[in-house]
A and B are shown apart, each in its own frame.
Chain A
């Protein structure tokens, strides 16, 4: 059934290509319907125009590079606000009004919500085997639900440990490889005084908590049995929550928001010695703190069990074709180029300091070559990311209303940081506040409250 449908849409799209190309050129001149515009449109005849929305930096450069090398497709790019700042609302509203762009950028946690709302299109049949083979399986696993693929991953972000090598040397500390060692180092860092801590537990860090729990083997949402089973306080999550609660209670970590001036000061003044985050953050750090050049290095994230290493993902984006797209094939061609062509990655990295780790693993040498290593003292961070990306466990599923779930969790984290409640009670609050949402959406749900 889906196969037949898509074949028909392929045909429709192919026959529509020249026609709609001319139409859009006409309407651009404001002289629709009549054939008088044929003289003017001859230059763009057969060229399909697709629209593309993204909040990712460097997208304009990628689009320019695409338009310069492609004659039959033209991409109209619009920079939109980041998801949380209104970008996702803009996309939802556009889809409701029936004029969503052909290609939209959606982060992993929000993808299931847009699939359920029918904003994005089932592109199972459009993603060719060639493209599939290029992508890291764990990343494609994140955009495939119930056997159907809904978007194409751009980057994969294994969570890593960024640390201040100079301060670790100064205080004679070893880089921790397990969480037990991490707690030991945390105590040692606190003993050095001056308000230094090993890291910050981010009260605005739903995605960080998710990545930590993902690593420990948690499964907040499970769809393997035909219903959304919600279990946000399962055994691995309880382990992670108890571990960080102890660090907070013993005053071994700072506990505040990372999207704050306070956090910038903590990093800038060397009050925190490590940051836990996805690969992308290496570039963000270079932008935010150029004065700390040479002091940071990156190491694998500590493990619960060194014998069986596992990792969660922190951040990352995907490209989806919307249901409103009239040129899904053209949209897909643009997406495929964007995620897998070396020129696309070069263009993106040329925009500034990015350390995105591509989901198309064949591009890693391109990223490695394009990335300026001096900030990290010559360390081959792409080599590290490559080794870490393989540890990402598959099977993690984000919830249908992840932004809202995250808000509840983060509000409760902030209260826990102020001494009211715990990280574990925050997880239970998040689950309790999520269930009514899912029920009101008409989804089949079960829950596991332990």
Chain B
């Protein structure tokens, strides 16, 4: 720009100078942009390092070392590198593996119920069937505002025979239910989790449904689709990305199942101290004071979580692209 104001005579130099100036300007702009990006992203990376990478590194470190004494263990301790010994112990521990099995079963029951339930509620709200929509929304969302531990306490009260009004009312109707029995603890835990999180995920779906262009819905109505058909065949596919996201978060949350069984453990011997992998980790660290075992189990749980999330992402992507090509 400045080059044009200067006269013609020096033909070759000015463009180069102009170039240099422009490049310098670009460079400084880029530098400023980089600096801004750096400033804005520093808190994120700082937190990432502080609350994720450092603890992760510590866990990996802890899992590879142990305070050992040879033989019977009565001698003096010394910290030694033990390699993958703690990992081998965790992976050969039937109580850990049964915890994994429990959580897998929990996921199979919980995730479909959660996703379908919250989607159905969101579609109901969106369809306009429900009167006083905002009140209904608030009512459904409210349980999510209750902290998990309080929710578990409330449900523990409702489940415990002798003090629960629900059990008493059912007993009056000649129905005996033991919510904390051998086969009922897992459904009871699923129920607490559903109650807590259904409203939250419903709000996510509802927001996604609001973003659907009205023309599309009008077109479907014009084509003769009823409200149910519109909801199932038009709306639901359009919020597929939200469904995947909710399913993913629910999965990650479910794999770390802890609060509800931890509290029910106080009331029912059917919820063991090593009910889920997270409870196993807690027990290893704070009841068995075996920190390298707890660290190894934590790392294994993290790896499993990452692997499952990755597999789900890959699978949904492949399904999506398969659909694209089919179209």
Contact = CB atoms under 8 A, between A and B. Distances in A.
Interface of A: 89, 92, 113, 115-118, 145-146, 148, 203-204, 223, 226-228, 257, 261, 400-401, 403-404, 407-408, 410-411, 413-415, 418-420, 429, 432-433, 435-437, 439-444
B35 interface: no
Given A118-B77, A261-B162, A442 B288 contact: no
Nearest to B68: A442
A442 B69 contact: yes
A408 B290 contact: no
Contact of B273 (A257, A261, A407): A407
Interface string B160-174: 001000000000000
Contact of B182 (A113, A117, A408, A418): A418
Nearest to B272: A411
Contacts of B197: none
B68 A436 contact: no
A227 B69 CA distance: 12
A441 B270 CA distance: 28
15 contacts: A118-B76, A145-B74, A203-B269, A204-B269, A257-B269, A414-B270, A415-B269, A432-B95, A436-B96, A439-B89, A440-B292, A440-B296, A442-B73, A442-B80, A443-B71
Nearest to B87: A440
Given A415-B182, A440-B89, 12 more contacts: A89-B287, A113-B289, A118-B77, A148-B74, A404-B283, A410-B269, A411-B269, A437-B288, A437-B293, A440-B85, A441-B68, A442-B82
A432 B89 CA distance: 11
Of the listed residues B71, B72, B86, B181, the one surrounded by the most CB atoms of chain A closer than 10 A to its CB is: B72
A261 B162 CA distance: 10
B92 interface: yes
B93 interface: yes
Interface of B: 66-74, 76-77, 80, 82, 85-86, 88-90, 92-96, 162, 181-182, 269-270, 272-274, 283, 286-290, 292-293, 296
Contacts of A116: 69, 73-74
Contacts of A113: 289
Of the listed residues B71, B95, B181, B273, the one surrounded by the most CB atoms of chain A closer than 10 A to its CB is: B95
Of the listed residues A116, A146, A436, A440, the one surrounded by the most CB atoms of chain B closer than 10 A to its CB is: A440
A444 B286 contact: no
A117 B269 contact: no
A418 B73 contact: no
Contacts of A413: 269
A411 B264 CA distance: 13
B95 A117 contact: no
Contacts of A444: 70-72
Contacts of B286: 89
A5 to B, nearest CB: 11
A59 B164 CA distance: 39
A200 to B, nearest CB: 14
Given A89-B287, A418-B270, A444-B71, A436 B89 contact: yes
Contact of B93 (A115, A228, A436, A442): A436
Nearest to B293: A440
A204 B66 CA distance: 32
Given A261-B162, A436-B93, A411 B273 contact: yes
Nearest to A89: B286
Contacts of B288: 401, 403-404, 437
Contacts of B68: 441-442
Contacts of B80: 442
Q: Sorted from nearest, which 10 A-B pairs have the closest CB atoms?
A: A414-B269, A442-B68, A436-B93, A440-B89, A411-B272, A116-B73, A436-B89, A440-B293, A418-B182, A433-B95
A252 to B, nearest CB: 22
Contacts of A401: 288, 290
B66 to A, nearest CB: 6
